[in-house]
Structure 1
Amino acid sequence: MTSKREVLISGGGIAGPALAYWLGRYGFAVTLVEKAGGLRGGGYPIDVRGTALEVVRRMGILPRLRAAHVDMHKFTFLDVAGDEVAVVDPRLIDGSVAGQDLEVRRGDLAEALHAAVGDDVEFVFGDSIATMTETGQGVDVTFASGRRRTYEVVIGADGLHSRTRESVFGPEDRFHHYLGHCFAGFTMPNILGLAHEGVLWSTPGRAAVLYAAGDGDEVHGFLNFAREDPPFGAFRDPAAQRDLVAATFADAGWRVPDLVAAMREADDLFFDTVSQIRMPAWSSGRVALVGDAAYAPSFLTGQGTSLALVGAYMLARSLAVHPGHEEAFAAYERDTREFVTLNQAHVDGGGSVMFPATQEAMDRRDAMLRDLTADPVPMERPAHSALTLPGVAGEPADGGGRWSFHTVPAGERS
C-alpha cells in the first residue's frame, strides 16, 4: 500500500482549515498546527462572494452559511457634526448581490469549516513551528513544544503577518504594501440601539463605525485613520496601539469619545494596518503560502476571505493532480495569480472611497452617496467571480471540469 503524502499546514483561521478539508478529501495525511489554544469564535462579519460561493457549495457548508447570513438593512453616513449625509442600501456600497453573496460572522465560517474537516485532519492547538529544514525527502519541522516530524510539504496559512513567510521568504517589509490607513476593531455596547445596520461618522482622514450585525446588546466598533507611515513600533504593543488611536481621535465629536473609551476597555482589540501582501512567488522549495500570507488584499476590497477559500481549493487540487511539489506549486500560482491580482487591484493607488483622506475626496464621496438611490446593476463578470473553478480532481466534471479565467474590463470591476 502506498503511504499517504504528509502535509503540514500552519494556521487555523480560514485558509488553513479550507485547505485541510480539500487535502483530506484527496487522501493526504494532514496536520494543522495553530498557536491559539482552540478554535476562535465570534469575530467581525466577513464576505463570501463569487467564485468562493462555489467553493463552500462543493464543501457542503453553503446551507449552514446561508442560515448564518447577516442581513444588513441600511448604512447611515454622518458628517463631522453627526448630522445625516445619506442612508443607503449596503449592497450599493460593497457591490454584493442579494440572495447570492454571503456575509457571516468570521467565527461562524471558522466553525463550519472545522466541522466539515471532521476527523480526517490532525489538529494541533497551542503549538507552532519553531524551525524548518528542507531536505531531499521533505521538510524537517521542530515545533515550539519540542515535537519533531518530517513532512513532504509545508503550507503557510498564518495570515498577513505570517511567521512561515518570514522564516522562508524573508522580512515582511519586502512584501508589505501599505495602503495608508490603520484601524482598530473591537466589540462594545450597543449605545445607539442599532439593529442590522451600520453607522459611519467621518472627517478627512478619520472615521468611526458602529456595525450591528444583529439586534443584540453588543456591536462592532471600528476606528480607522489615515497615516503616512505604518506604526511599526505599535504592532506588538497593545498599550501603544490604544494610545495611538486615542491620540488620533482626541478632538473628535459625535459619539467618538464613547468608541475610544470602549476601545480602551475592550478585551478583543484588533489593531492593524490596511495593507496588502504582494509577492513575486508564493512558494520556495517545499514551502508554499495561501490566503493572506501570500496575497492579503486588505479589508478595503472585501475579498480577503473569498481569496483564501479559492486559493485553498486551487492549491489542494494542484497538489492532488501533480505528484511533484514543484509542478503542483507552479500550477497553483499559474492558475490563481491573475484572479488574485484583479481583486487586489480594487484599491490600486491606496485610495479609499469610503474613507477619504482629504476634504475634496470627502465631498466627492458624499455627493456620490446622495445619488445612490437605485438598485445596483448586476455586472456580467465582476472581479470576484472572474475565476471559474476547475472540477474536483478525480470526480466527474459537473459543469466545472475545466477551469477558465474571465478578464474583467476596468470599468466593470467591483
Structure 2
Amino acid sequence: MERNSIVKAIANILAERGVGNLLPLEYPLSPLEHVFPKSIIVVREDEPSTIVAAALSSDDYIGRLFEIREQYMMDNNTTEETNNEKLATGIDTSTSGITSSDLSIERTLRSKSGIHMKSYFTDGTTKFFCKIFFAEQFDALRRNCGCEESFIASLAQCAKWDSSGGKSGSTFLKTKDGRFLLKQISRYEMDAFSNFAPSYFQYMSEAFFHELPTVLCKIFGLYRVGYKNMTTGRSIRMDILVMENLFYDRCVQKIFDLKGSMRNRHVQVTGKENEVLLDENMVEYLFQSPLFLYSHSKQMLRESLHNDTLFLSRLDVMDYSLLVGIDEEKQELVVGIVDFIRTFTWDKKLESWVKDSGIFGGGGKEPTIISPRQYRIRFREAMDRYFLMVPDFWTTINI
C-alpha cells in the first residue's frame, strides 16, 4: 500500500542517519481516512460530508464555477449598458436598490437550467465520487445567505445525529460545528426534488429580493456520493441533501414536528436530548403553557405559511412538517417547514381513495394520505390554532 511505503521510506531515512531505538512508525491516519494531492480535506469513509467537502474544494469545481460566475457577470454588464442607454433616453429602469452582485445571484436562481458536476478522486486504494446537482444555483443561494465561506469547513467533519421521537426513520448527520444537517434521501425523493428544483430556486429568489415572507427551511446542496475501497471491499452510494440547522446556536428545550393531524401523532415523552414531539404532544403542552405571539409575529407566520403551503401545493408536495423549537432562554419560537420534497404520486392517490371509500376495510375513516390541497388547508388551520395572538394597542376587536 502507498501509505505503508511512505512510512517505510521515512523509517529507512532515520536508520541511515543513525537514529535508533525508535518505536515503529505508524501511519497517522486510520484505514478509513484518506488524503489527496492539493486538498486539505481528510476524507473519511464513515463521514459522507467529507466527500462533498473534498469535491467542493477541488480545482476542477472551483474553476468551472468561476467560469459560470464570469459569464453571469458579463451578462450583467451587458444589461447595465443597455439600462444606461435607456436612462439617456428618459426610460425609467430602476432596480429598487439591487446591487450588481444581487442581480447576478437573482438571475442565477431564476435560471431554468441547472449544471450538474461530477468529481472523482482516488488515493490508490479507494475510489470516491461526488455528483453535485444544480451547482451554480446552490452556490448562489449559499452566497446570498452568507454561508459560502464556512460551508466547506463545516462539511469537513460530521457525526450521526439521533433525533428521537420523530417518525420519518431517516438517517441524519450533523456537521461538527452544528451549522448544517445532512439527510439521506431515497432515489424517489431525489428525482422529485430534481424535477421541481427550478421552482424552488425561483421561489427563494422571491423571498430574498422581493420580500416574500417564507419559513421554508433552506436546502443548501444536493449530492450523490459514494466510494469503493479495493482493499477492504467496503462500498457505499447515497443521495444526500444539506440543509440549515434551524436550531444552530440556540438553546432549544422542546422540539415539535407538526403536521396538523391528530391521527397517530403522539409519542411517549422521555426527556431525552433532541426528543421530537408531535401534534398531540403539542396540544397537551398548550394546556399547560399556551404559546402566545405578538400580533406582527402572528401575521408574519400566517403570511409565510400561506405562501409556502400554496407554493408546495402547486408542486403536488405534501406530508411536510412545521418544525418548532422553543427557545426559553430568548423567549422565542424557532420555526421552519421541513421535509417538503414528497410529492403526491399515483400510489398515494390510490391509497387515499381506498381508505376514503371504505373498500377493502377502509371503513370510510379519514385517510392517512390526503391530497396536497386538503393537506394545505388542514395544515394552515391547525397552525393557526396552535399559536395564539396577544392583542396590542393597534389590534381591532369586534364586539
TM over 0.5: no
| Rg larger for | 2
TM-score bracket relative to the smaller structure: under 0.3
Which is strand-richer, 1 or 2? 1
TM-score normalized with structure 1 length: 0.24
TM-score normalized with structure 2 length: 0.24
Which of structures 1 and 2 has the larger relative contact order (alpha carbons within 8 angstroms, sep 6+)? 1
